Structure 1
């Protein structure tokens, strides 16, 4: 069996994530509208709900706007994450797929300091390398898991 080829794939703001966040916000706004229509009067609870929907929408927009941007690189042995914060690239200790929608992946990365990063990968970012990324992600999962110490030794070598 052949190993997955080296691949570098751009990760950043996800339109899939943005649509999901917008959908949840619109659902909250719809609940507020229904409460406003069917509530006997404008009570403080209705205004509290309006404030909560507004704050949730602002927090979701801020979080999406400040999503990490960078490059996920597989060198056929190890994953590396390159971004503005990690210009030289930092080795990824663990990578796992949290969600797989075929054209969109939610990836969980963990570096040597055990800091976790959740990133969306979309086929539309680089369609010509999408299958290479998927092969690398799933080949990496197929390999027998190493202990944390063994992975750390492998990365430091």
Structure 2
């Protein structure tokens, strides 16, 4: 039997798995950072789209975040949750607009919702199949190379 770093390979695979798991959990538990995270968090927890028609007058923001957002040139925002088949929010997609919004049509909102659902389902499928299969293959190769 050839001696090699089986333990090192196993430690590497375990570390990759922990990091991947942490990254996946983090996407759910920390919906956003920086100014505007309140809206993203609200959309994520409600599992629905949120439109901020005018950042300058929206009551969802405290004054400091409002000013930070306005300084970037954003006057309006829209957030769409990325939802799995089981209803878990994997992430959010937000658009920022340089002018106040009057809203979206029902057709536009339906298309955005469908996109969020499709992307969420694909991300979930990708994680549950491709990523986990790749980690398993890496583990098998590392252990097999040392036998």
Q: TM-score range by the shorter chain?
A: 0.3 to 0.5
Give the number of the structure whose residues are more often strand, by fraction: 1
- Give the TM-score taking structure 2 as reference length: 0.34
